[in-house]
Amino acid sequence: MATFVLVHGAWHGSWCWQRVRRTLRELGHEVFTPTLSGVGERAHLLSPGIDLTVHIQDVANLIRWEELSDVVLCGHSYAGLVISGVAEQMPERIAALVYLDAFLPESGQSLHDTLPPEISDHQRAMARDHGGGWKVPPNPAAMFAVNDQDRDWVDRQCTPQSLATFEQPLIFSEKAGSIPDIRYVLATGWSHSPFAAFRDLAAKRGWRTSTMACGHDVMLDLPAELAAVLDGVAAG
């Protein structure tokens, strides 16, 4: 049995992992799917003060207070920054890192630093025009090529996220390099993906990489297949 901590991406919540969580538990694993502060069922906590540090602490505190060890820590999309920060704080608790179609920052970069300027500028404009200057409305599910059956549900479930989470730089010292197993999984089924470059960077670092032919929300498009990939990570 392995212990998984699965961290959702921007605007999502624990809800997006329902299918994968169920399958992994049926396989006998222990699975935690924290919702980050200010989104999903924790949307009532949204404030301008929620930044990347808060989200990293959300996950680190879960691991600490649940007294977890040998964790397979998986981060989707924006959560690539979150799991990088958690790995910096507690590498001794983590058996494997999985970047799932995720941002892979260099130390000193924010999420906006990893994006083309026109996308970062668009998000800032959305915050200014539709989010009181400090929160970013969610992108539509269709932009991420979410499967047709789930698109309306995803659009209903996603909630705004604090702009500060996208703009705070992440500083780390490569402590994650001591983690024995680090992998990158690229979703290849959506045309606007910025993540192929991160997969290539992961390969240059000697990490294991793989692809899944689906939209960005892999846990919704191919939940059984993703659960099998994660089960394989646990098996080594």
Beta carbons of 63 and 93 less than 8 angstroms apart: yes
Beta carbons of 97 and 176 less than 8 angstroms apart: yes
CB within 8 A of 162, min separation 6: which ones? 38, 46, 47, 48, 49, 50, 51, 134, 135, 136
Distance, CA of 74 to CA of 83 (rounded, Å): 7
Active-site residue numbers?
Answer: 77
Cα Rg of the chain, angstroms = 16
